[in-house]
Structure 1
Amino acid sequence: MLLIDGEWIETDEKIAVRNPFNKEIVGYASRATREQTLAAARCAKAYESDLTAYDRCEILNDTAAQIEREEAEFVAQIVAECGASVKEAQKEVRRAVTLLRVCAEEARRISGEAIPTDVTSDRKKNLAVTLRVPIGLVCAITPFNRPLNQVVVKLAPAIAANNSVILKPSEKTPLSAVKFVKCLIANGLPARMVSLVTGDPGEVGETLVTCPDIDMITFTGSRAVGERIARSAGMVRMTFELGDSGALVVLDDADLELAADVAAKGAFATAGQSCRGVKRILVQEGVADRFAALLVQEAKKLTFGDPYSPQNDIGCLIDEAAAQAVEDRVDESVESGAKLLYGPPRDGAVLGPRVLDFVPKESPLVREETFGPCAPIVRIKDLAEAVDCVNGGEYGLQTGVFTASIHQAFEAAQKIKSGAVIINDGPQFESPFIPFGGVKKSGLGREGARFAIEEMTTVKTIVF
């Protein structure tokens, strides 16, 4: 269904949403036209919220409480449309609940400052204050890999900041988004404050990013699409999260058992379909053999396959074509000199963990963002080579570094060009309280509750 001007609308043309594991149809989404998309944006832009900070805090907290009560239903929806395992879907729902509650509290803390003006030779004793006011209409475009949490990441801070929102979820996984928006409205969000449109990215997405009613675009997805949006959108605020070739650096004084455990979790969670996952592991040569053996052990502990099975750690990729593309990239890396240490046969969209060693630094498997369950080891001589390797790429979202040396930790933190450097943990580290975003081709702006709210507000100065 579409949500336009506070009304849910069914269209004649539908998009069939299929479970990627068994290819069964699990629901339908309405296919919005260009005209409907423009109407949705126009109506959302026209609505001016009079919600107080207390109101917004209450709506977000009550929504979190309902999702918590209905966790099983949300988990089932996530598993059905994106093929995540039950275990992964449960984690996603709990992350969404936590973020809603953090954004609810941040809604109470949006404030400005007083600025003295008698500091120049004019000696004018005016009173200047700043306020953070809503930026206007936020266009949120979300990907398939976390169909609930990625929507919450965009909508919760936008609502906390008192903006109107128009949401376009992935056409592959729109059902969790619809369910979440209904939950918001059931808990007091004015229906006209949020619009939802589903449909073809080329029609609906392109219409939105060029729409004159949009004041801000917040997008998570591929670098190619992000760059196209940046060229098309014009003078609007933008926050982009465009992925990473996420590096985990393991030096020879590291806790190898812990590093292997973190590497496996970062590389294989969500079947490797995570923007902040481990995409390459830069291991110092002296400990590479031992680390590789430990990583294979960790990979073999994981069960994968049917996402509906509560026993499985990993479900499947979003479709068979995605699994095939990852497998092709692994094969290409092996042909270039890498050694496949572990890799069960692919079965449709199900692709088990892959551990590779001796991967060439220039292999597309590690230079690009490989969106699948791969743990490629690149052997490096020292920290300096690791830093050069990380900084030489086009991405820079988050980087993990394992070392027992405080000196090497500080050197890595200072020299690595990433949005975040995490010491003795992986690039998958996340917290709703810290800024999240990248440098270079990984994106623009920052997410994370308070930081996203700042992106979604503008500063107004008042001088008395």
Structure 2
Amino acid sequence: MKTVKILSPYNQAIVGEMPESESQDIESAIQRSQAAFQVMRKLPRFVRADILMRAAEGLKARREEFARLIAQEAGKPLYDARGEVSRAIFNLSNSAAEARRFSGEEVPLDMDAGVFEYQSTDSSGKPIALQDLNLDKLSAMRRRIGIARRFPIGPILAIAPFNFPLNLVLHKVAPALAVGNSVVLKPAPQTPLTSVLLQDLLRDAGLPDGALEVCHCSVSLAESMVKDERFAMVSFTGSAKVGWHIKSIAGRKKVALELGGNGAVIVAEDADIDQAVARCVRGGVVYGGQYCIGVQRILVQRSVYDNFLKKLIEKIEKCKVGDPLEEGIDIGPVIDEGSAIRIQSWVEEAVAQGAKIETGGRRDRAVVQPTVLTKTQPNMKVEAEEIFGPVMTVNVYDEFEEAIARCNNSKYGLQGGFFTQNLKHAFRAIEDWEVGGLMINDVPIYRIDNMPFGGWKESGLGREGTRYAMEDMTDIRHLVINYA
């Protein structure tokens, strides 16, 4: 099998080599996944849970190995890479716990008389006394039980992004295995080595052969898998353009899409400004801004705007930029120099249209300096599109309704942040703000891996988060028993 070299985005050093799947390899992987599904779907839930729990323990023991590989092939600073590994450990252990308790429900079948032609009133409309009713017939109505049981749906095609090569993979893989599905994983082309290491980890934990197949392949072969009816579902995380294209060619199978965003934050005049600044900096520069829920647009109430902007710039300029394998680095490279050039061009275009650079705006190869822009407009790319880089726009607002309207002036709706002590405004915000998740007194990057996660508008379809993904990856069979 042909192999390709995987390079560090920071200095182009060779991180490793990855086998490149061709059409016959894809076919073999699908067939193995089909066979593994027949094994997985019959495993008792405690067996599936034990496999996931052993994988979590194995990941704990190898956390630094995984973190350094993520730092190398994704260019993620070690601090953030270690954080991703910690989240992945929770993801595996939480999936193990959910595997044990995930179930269907009893469906009450005596809510309506239905075929029993039950009458509670006489011909004049007067209620019939209980003692005059046919109690045997009433008892018979209770002697039907409905049980809605959930069953795994079949092999799942998971297509993952580069920015969280371990944890976003596990957002798909762990719930799928927890309910008894098999998975064929197509990792991001830049970060496949982490997926192979995860596959080894799960194999060592006792996962049956074929239950997780990794296929590093071309776009055309990936599209052929999306169209393949042997898959019951496609779960994709990535850009909106690619995600909606996948939905258009997927046929009758289930599709889950976790797509892009241009995360907005509102800072009200009653907010804790120091807290808001600290969290906005973290949310804007984490992993070079390559985060679909990263902070991109900040709206600050006029009375505190100058103070907020001054403190934001001071804190941004203290961020350490450099080699992601060095301890203490806050910002490393973006995923490649082409992406860095695009980010810089959007900033320069905004400046040409009237925006002002308050700090940053420079790049060195694939490393983009954290940047703050003011005087931007909603039609500029730095606001309208997902920049996926360490760039934040800061603008002023006067009234609450004005701020919400500007946040909603976007094709995306993934998560938002709102710093305020006004409980009324907080509850009104969730009614009117078109996002899948709203963080009060925090920024959009806040995410615990069991919470429902997904977006409105072009930000996606369906929800991730352990139990929510498990529901998507199963379907219901309803059993009715008549024991009258």
TM-score grouping bracket, smaller chain normalisation: over 0.9
Aligned match of 2:290: 273
Aligned match of 1:100: 92
CA distance in structure 2 between the aligned counterparts of 1:346 and 1:390, rounded to whole angstroms: 28
Aligned match of 1:183: 201
Whichever residue aligns with residue 290 of structure 2, its letter is Q
| Aligned pair partner of 1:165 in 176, 180, 183 | 183
The alignment status of 1:37 with 2:29, answered yes or no, reads no
How far did 1:120 drift?
A: 2.2
CA distance in structure 1 between the aligned counterparts of 2:185 and 2:242, rounded to whole angstroms: 17
CA distance in structure 2 between the aligned counterparts of 1:73 and 1:147, rounded to whole angstroms: 14
| Aligned pair partner of 1:221 in 228, 232, 238 | 238
Q: What pairs with 1:324-403 in structure 2 (closer than 5 Å)?
A: 324-343=341-360, 345-403=362-420
The alignment status of 1:453 with 2:470, answered yes or no, reads yes
Aligned match of 2:69: 77
Shifted more, 299-308 versus 171-180: the winner is 299-308
Deviations 1:199-251 (A, max 9, x none): 22x22311110111010111000011001101100111111011101111111
Aligned match of 2:43: 51
Question: Structure 2 stretches of 5 or more lacking a match?
Answer: 117-140
The alignment status of 1:111 with 2:100, answered yes or no, reads no
Deviations 1:32-91 (A, max 9, x none): 112321331233123312321111111111111111111111111111101111111111
Contact 2:347 2:361 in 1 (8 A): no
| Aligned pair partner of 2:434 in 395, 414, 417 | 417
How far did 1:344 drift?
A: 6.1
CA distance in structure 1 between the aligned counterparts of 2:441 and 2:31, rounded to whole angstroms: 48
CA distance in structure 2 between the aligned counterparts of 1:300 and 1:132, rounded to whole angstroms: 52
Question: What SS does structure 2 have at the residue aligned with 1:359?
Answer: coil
Contact 1:437 1:447 in 2 (8 A): yes
Whichever residue aligns with residue 89 of structure 1, its letter is A
Question: What SS does structure 1 have at the residue aligned with 2:367?
Answer: coil
Identity %: 37
CA distance in structure 2 between the aligned counterparts of 1:110 and 1:204, rounded to whole angstroms: 34
CA distance in structure 2 between the aligned counterparts of 1:331 and 1:456, rounded to whole angstroms: 44
How far did 1:164 drift?
A: 0.8
Contact 2:229 2:253 in 1 (8 A): no
Question: Structure 1 stretches of 5 or more lacking a match?
Answer: 1-10
CA distance in structure 2 between the aligned counterparts of 1:224 and 1:433, rounded to whole angstroms: 27
Question: What SS does structure 2 have at the residue aligned with 1:288?
Answer: helix
How far did 1:326 drift?
A: 0.6
Q: TM-score, normalised by structure 2?
A: 0.91
Whichever residue aligns with residue 339 of structure 1, its letter is K
Q: CA RMSD for the aligned pairs?
A: 1.2
CA distance in structure 1 between the aligned counterparts of 2:59 and 2:114, rounded to whole angstroms: 58
How far did 1:378 drift?
A: 2.5
CA distance in structure 2 between the aligned counterparts of 1:38 and 1:364, rounded to whole angstroms: 41
CA distance in structure 1 between the aligned counterparts of 2:239 and 2:349, rounded to whole angstroms: 22
Deviations 1:325-384 (A, max 9, x none): 111111111111211111063111111211112221221101111100111112222221
Contact 1:42 1:213 in 2 (8 A): no
CA distance in structure 1 between the aligned counterparts of 2:395 and 2:221, rounded to whole angstroms: 41
CA distance in structure 1 between the aligned counterparts of 2:229 and 2:181, rounded to whole angstroms: 16
Whichever residue aligns with residue 320 of structure 2, its letter is T
CA distance in structure 1 between the aligned counterparts of 2:372 and 2:280, rounded to whole angstroms: 10
